[in-house]
Amino acid sequence: MHWQRLDRDNTLKVINSVKSASDPGLIVAGTSEVSTARLMFYDGVSLFKVTNFASLPSFTFEYLGDGTFFQYLDGTETPIYAVNDKGALRLTVGSVIDYLAFFFSHVTGEGGDETLLVKNPHDMPMLDSLDPGAYDAVIRGHQPAQVKDQDDGGFVVDADIYDSGQLSRAQIAVSPSGRVVILARKMILQSVARGLESEHYLA
């Protein structure tokens, strides 16, 4: 994702739009930086990142917005769906994989775990901790994501996902409005995050 830092005037506009009335000191222009990144699956909506450097460590908030409205990404699917329902979502066979990667990276599971859509197995967390057999299973077991468009305008995607220390091949439904449902999954590698002694892999 390519981030572009905003100039001072636009930084002030964003900060004034997103800062909380209940805690106006949480985001202050003098100690904060705003960057934005385009998202190919939205028309007129970008991802905004506001970082406050006044504290150590610094903290960051992310928003979806068009420059006039901003939706805070709180780790649930609700704000993403709210933006989708404004009519800005533009899903195609070429963009739905990026949408899923964005969705999973901003929606936390019930146990607080994040889900990673694995485009490149070499980018998978904890890969270096695996023994040679498990490492080989991950590399050999990976398949590029496959997309099938549906009659209703939605998509079914087969892709590798990593969550809760497990690598799986998942079948994921994406509706025309961007609702995401994991229909099924087949385990490729279990307990990756536990590493060293507990790998169970499918040859």
**What pLDDT was estimated at residue 53?**
85
Tell me which residues of the chain have a pLDDT lower than 70. Answer: 20-25, 111, 125, 189-203
Q: Report whether 17 contacts 27 (CB < 8 A).
A: no
Element holding 133 (H helix, E strand): helix 132-141
**Domain extent listing, the chain:** 4-88, 96-201
**What pLDDT was estimated at residue 194?**
41
Q: How many CB atoms neighbour CB 198 within 10 A?
A: 12
**What pLDDT was estimated at residue 24?**
56
**What pLDDT was estimated at residue 23?**
60
The predicted model scores a pTM of 0.85
pLDDT tens string 77-88: 999 999 999 999
**What pLDDT was estimated at residue 148?**
97
